Amino acid sequence: MNTATIDARHLLCPLPVIRTQDAVADCRPGDHLQVVCTDPGVVHDIPAWCRVHGHEVYAIERSDNEIMIGIQVGEAD
Amino acid sequence: MTEQRKAVALISGGLDSFLAARTVMDQGVHVEGINFYTGFCVEGHTHAIREKDRARPKRNNALWVAEQLGIRLHIVDIIEEYMDVVINPQHGYGTHLNPCLDCKVFMVNKAREWIVEHDFDFIITGEVVGQRPMSQRKHTMTMVARDSGAGDRLVRPLCAQNLPPTLPEQKGWLERDRMYGFSGRSRRPQMALAAKYGFEDYAQPAGGCCFLTDRQYSIKLEDLWKTRGRREYDLDDIMLLKVGRHLRPRADLKLIVGREEGENRFLEGYRRRFVHMLPASHVGPLVLLDGNTDTNAIELAARLTARFSKGRDAGQVTVEINDRDGNSRMLAVRPMPADEIPADWYL
């Protein structure tokens, strides 16, 4: 299992979702992805995107003005 | 065994694209959604920025629609490629800087490229004949199919019965009589169909889903092009046009004034790119200066900054001025009275 981090700070939705989508495309099932964001909209949009694509959000952590969303990549098509 | 047919639906997040996708799914076709991000989408940004919008439920409507349908949604960044559509629309603009017809051709073409790449069979849109003055007339819908290269692989399920049979109909992948013959601007047939599906709480954007249909936004974009002497933009340009009051007191100077805390926070992200100022002696906005920042411009901008602060009626306001390198200094100014600000300074 690999873990990667994406810096999506100062991007407004849907760009953090698009960056997540692009990164997931390079991952294998079971890999972890940590997306660091500042737009509060990501706490709705990234989990919604994960739900429709079959990935699991295992953590949403807030600190100061940043939000980290942890994703476990699901099975490929 | 019958081959599983696959279609991609352009999902805007509104009712029509939901219904169009659902109509095709009901015929046993595997459907996935695609949503294009141009940078001008109303969706998301302003809600994220403005404090007053934070109480609103936040959701990406395209993702929400995909969840209701139970389908995957692919969000595609087309910011760079879309610039040519905005700057050089072959079919011209609508009422403002909205290149609706070129936009539709462009997006359907991108969807065509996507189905080729992913081995899908056809494309679905939620268009309805006669619903929109520019892009959804019968002859322009024919033109969109032709110019996008999608041809008869473009299916509009909500008005399919008003259009020539498409390839999926000819091949028996879709039954024409299980699609619809909607036309015109009335929303009643769509609302009745939504009720049939039990689909509620869908987005109904009053001003459309694209900033280019907005008069004030278009004025600011025209101003940007005019003062730069060339028609071009980057993502930061078009984001900043969505935020704050924009004043042009001189041909070579524009001010972007945060209107509330959320906008001030957003503008802070641009502190290294612009000379900026904020009142030090009173509560007030963060102001970005775009253009010439000579001594006269700084004083003028400081007086305007003071004007939009809580010290607007004070005899003097101290304004902190910051350059792009992070150096700051203070300047005491008399706030500019409201009647000295000509209306045409406001973009």
Amino acid type, B9: A
Q: What is the model's pLDDT at position B8?
A: 98
**pLDDT tier at B138, thresholds 50, 70, 90:** confident
Q: What percentage of chain B carries pLDDT values higher than 70?
A: 93
**pLDDT tier at A65, thresholds 50, 70, 90:** confident
Q: CA–CA separation, B276 vs B289, rounded Å?
A: 6
Q: What is the model's pLDDT at position B265?
A: 86
Reported as half-sphere exposure (CB side, CA atoms, 13 A), residue B145 has a value of: 22
Q: Which chain A residues contact residue B64 at CB under 8 A?
A: 48
User: For the CA atoms of B87, B91, B93, B98, what is the dihedral angle to 10 degrees?
Assistant: -70
**pLDDT tier at B269, thresholds 50, 70, 90:** confident
Burial B72-99 (b: 16+ CB within 10 A, else e): bbbbbbebeebbebbeebebebbebbbb
Q: Are strands B122-124 and B154-155 parallel, antiparallel or unpaired?
A: parallel
Active-site option among A13, A27, A37, A50:
A13
Q: Looking at the complex, report in whole angstroms how far the Cα of residue B226 sits from the nearest Cα belonging to chain A.
A: 27
Asked if residues B306 and B284 have their Cβ atoms less than 8 Å apart, the reply is: yes
- Mean pLDDT across A63-76: 91
Q: Looking at the complex, report in whole angstroms how far the Cα of residue B37 sits from the nearest Cα belonging to chain A.
A: 8
Q: Is A27 a catalytic site residue?
A: no
Q: What percentage of chain B carries pLDDT values higher than 90?
A: 78
**pLDDT tier at B279, thresholds 50, 70, 90:** very high
In 3D, which of B150, B37, B133 has the Cα closest to residue B92?
B133
CB proximity list for A3: less than 8 A, separation 6 or greater:
A31, A32, A33, A34
Mean pLDDT of chain B: 92
A17, B54: Cβ pair inside 8 Å?
Answer: no
- Mean pLDDT across B257-277: 91
**pLDDT tier at B218, thresholds 50, 70, 90:** very high
Q: What is the model's pLDDT at position B135?
A: 66
- Mean pLDDT across B228-254: 93
Mean pLDDT of chain A: 93
Beta strands in B131-284 (DSSP E): 154-155, 245-250, 253-257, 275-279
In 3D, which of B133, B62, B76 has the Cα closest to residue B101?
B133
Q: Is the pTM for the entire model greater than 0.95?
A: no
B47, A41: Cβ pair inside 8 Å?
Answer: yes
Condensed to tens digits (0 to 9), the pLDDT of residues B39-87 reads 998 765 555 566 666 556 567 899 999 999 999 999 999 999 999 999 9
CB proximity list for B57: less than 8 A, separation 6 or greater:
none
- Mean pLDDT across B209-235: 92
What is the CATH topology of the domain spanning B6-211?
Rossmann fold (3.40.50)
Tell me the two tokens of residue B255.
């001010």
Find how far residue B37's CA is from the centre of its chain.
8
Q: Which of A12, A41, A52 sits opposite B72 (nearest CB)?
A: A52
Q: What is the model's pLDDT at position B271?
A: 87
B44, A45: Cβ pair inside 8 Å?
Answer: yes
Condensed to tens digits (0 to 9), the pLDDT of residues B139-174 reads 899 999 999 999 999 999 999 999 999 999 999 999
Q: Which chain A residues contact residue B75 at CB under 8 A?
A: 14, 17-18, 21, 49
Q: What is the model's pLDDT at position B262?
A: 83
A44, B60: Cβ pair inside 8 Å?
Answer: yes
Q: Where are the domains of chain B?
A: 6-211, 244-345
Rounded alpha-carbon distances, angstroms, from residue B305 to A56, B58, B153, B316: 47, 32, 56, 12
Q: Looking at the complex, report in whole angstroms how far the Cα of residue B77 sits from the nearest Cα belonging to chain A.
A: 7
Q: CA–CA separation, B222 vs B335, rounded Å?
A: 29
Nearest residue in chain A measured CA to CA from B47: A41
Nearest residue in chain B measured CA to CA from A19: B77
Given a cut of 50, whether residue B180 has pLDDT beyond it is: yes
Strongest mean pLDDT among A37-41, B130-134, B208-212: A37-41
Q: CA–CA separation, B209 vs B181, rounded Å?
A: 25
Class of domain A3-72: alpha beta
Kindly list the residues of chain A whose beta carbon comes within 8 Å of any beta carbon in chain B.
Answer: 10, 12-15, 17-18, 21, 39-41, 44-45, 48-49, 51-53
Q: What is the model's pLDDT at position B70?
A: 96
Asked if residues B332 and B305 have their Cβ atoms less than 8 Å apart, the reply is: no
